[in-house]
C-alpha cells in the first residue's frame, strides 16, 4: 500500500474526505464500493484516539464486529484489550482499524482486490491521523501494508520503515487465540510498542523522526 517513501501508492482519494474525520466516517459508513458490503450488516470504521500518532491495523471485521459496528470487540478483541491492559496501554488512547471495513463472508481473508477497493478509506484515516507508527496485526496486514514477501512469524517484533513511517508488526490476536504458545512473543512485541508510544508522546508536536 505504501511506496518506499511512505506515501500511499495507487490509491485514489476521490470521494473520501481526508481532512475531517467525522465526514470521513459518515461517508465511509455509506460505502458500497465493493461486493463485501452486500453480504455484511454494516461498515465497521476504525475507532479511538485520532491524535495519538499510532495506529493498529488488522485485516477486517468478524461476526461480532459486524453485529456491533465496532472493530476488535469479539474474542480476539477481548484478548487484545487484555494485552493492552497488561502493558498499560489504554485502548481509548490509540486508534485501531482494519484494512477492509466490511466483514468478508465466513471471516475469510480479504482478497487483494477487496483491500485495494477499501484502501482509500484507510488512506484517508492515515492522512488524518498522520501516524508515526503503524502496528500491522497479523499476516494479511503485514503483507498489504509493508511487504507481500514478509512472513509474520519472522517479521513480528521487527521495525520496518518507509520514509518517516515506522511499522512494528505483531501477531493478530485471533492467531494468538489459536496458538497460545505464541503469546510470549506478542508480549515482547507489545513491550516494544509501549516504548514506541512513550517515544511518540515525548516527541509530541515536534517534527523529529521517531
CB 170 within 8 A of CB 179: no
CB 155 within 8 A of CB 169: yes
Binding ligand SF4 by CB under 6 A: which of 55, 57, 100, 196?
100
Burial (CB < 10 A; 0-12, 13-18, 19+), residue 102, is buried
Q: How far is the CB of 192 from ligand SF4 (least distance, A)?
A: 30
- State the DSSP string of 17-82: -SS-HHHHHHHHHT---SGGGGGSS-----EE-TTSSEEEEES---HHHHHHTSSS-SHHHHHHHH
Give yes or no for residue 32 binding ligand SF4 (CB under 6 A): yes
Binding ligand SF4 by CB under 6 A: which of 11, 24, 43, 126?
43
Give yes or no for residue 73 binding ligand SF4 (CB under 6 A): no
Give yes or no for residue 27 binding ligand SF4 (CB under 6 A): no
Binding ligand SF4 by CB under 6 A: which of 11, 36, 57, 96?
36
Q: How far is the CB of 199 from ligand SF4 (least distance, A)?
A: 32
Q: Which residues lie near ligand SF4 (CB under 6 A)?
A: 28, 31-34, 36-37, 43, 100-102, 117-118, 121
Amino acid at each position: 500500500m505504501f511506496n518506499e517513501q511512505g506515501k500511499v501508492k495507487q490509491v485514489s482519494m476521490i470521494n473520501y474526505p481526508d481532512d475531517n474525520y467525522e465526514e470521513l466516517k459518515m461517508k465511509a459508513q455509506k460505502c458500497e464500493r465493493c461486493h463485501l458490503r452486500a453480504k455484511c450488516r454494516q461498515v465497521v470504521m476504525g475507532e479511538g484516539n485520532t491524535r495519538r500518532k499510532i495506529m493498529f491495523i488488522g485485516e477486517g471485521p468478524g461476526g461480532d464486529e459486524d453485529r456491533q459496528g465496532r472493530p476488535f470487540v469479539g474474542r480476539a478483541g477481548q484478548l487484545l484489550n487484555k494485552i493492552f491492559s497488561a502493558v498499560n496501554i489504554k485502548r481509548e488512547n490509540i486508534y485501531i482499524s482494519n484494512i477492509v471495513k466490511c466483514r468478508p463472508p465466513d471471516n475469510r481473508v480479504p482478497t487483494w482486490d477487496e483491500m485495494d477497493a477499501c484502501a482509500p478509506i484507510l488512506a484517508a484515516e492515515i492522512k488524518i491521523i498522520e501516524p508515526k507508527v503503524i502496528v500491522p496485526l497479523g499476516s494479511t496486514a503485514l503483507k498489504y501494508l509493508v511487504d507481500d514477501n514478509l512472513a509474520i512469524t519472522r517479521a513480528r517484533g521487527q521495525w520496518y520503515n518507509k520514509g518517516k513511517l515506522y511499522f512494528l508488526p505483531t501477531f493478530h490476536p485471533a492467531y494468538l487465540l489459536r496458538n497460545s504458545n505464541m503469546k510470549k512473543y506478542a508480549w515482547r512485541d507489545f513491550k516494544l510498542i509501549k516504548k514506541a508510544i512513550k517515544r511518540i508522546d515525548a516527541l509530541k508536536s515536534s517534527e523529529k523522526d521517531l
